[in-house]
């Protein structure tokens, strides 16, 4: 399970059975790539323009990420998800 942490650039990988956080993924680099955020003239709006959207495509195994007030969406692949999938295939 994946979850974004409100008002941060972090995504958590969570064990759905136990609720334990398995990994914290820092996506600060991605937030810096959003062109319209730097152009927001109102400081409050700029502070509100945080990562706030995550979706998983089971066919491609890619994650789609966006944010509040962002004009961009990112399609990424997390190596930890790929490793887990390979392990599950191997172990049956």
Q: Longest Cα pair distance anywhere in the chain, in angstroms?
A: 53
- What pLDDT score does 15 carry? 92
Asked if pLDDT for residue 80 goes beyond 60, the answer is yes
Whether the predicted model's global pTM rises above the 0.75 cut: no
Q: Which residue range(s) make up the domain with 64? A: 2-91
Model confidence over 9-27: pLDDT tens digits?
A: 899 999 999 999 999 999 8
Tens-place pLDDT, residues 24-77: 999 888 888 888 877 777 777 777 888 889 999 989 989 999 988 889 999 998
Number of compact structural domains in the chain:
1
- Compute CA distances 23 → 52, 59, 74, whole Å: 18, 23, 20
């Amino acid at each position: 399970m994946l979850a974004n942490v409100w008002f941060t650039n972090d995504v958590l990988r969570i064990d759905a059975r136990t609720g334990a956080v398995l990994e914290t993924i820092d996506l600060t680099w991605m937030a810096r790539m959003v062109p319209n955020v730097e152009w927001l003239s109102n400081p409050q709006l700029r502070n509100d323009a945080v990562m706030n959207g995550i979706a998983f495509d089971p066919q491609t195994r890619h994650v789609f990420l966006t944010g509040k007030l962002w004009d961009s969406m990112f399609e990424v692949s997390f190596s930890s998800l790929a490793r887990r999938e390979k392990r599950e295939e191997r172990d049956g």
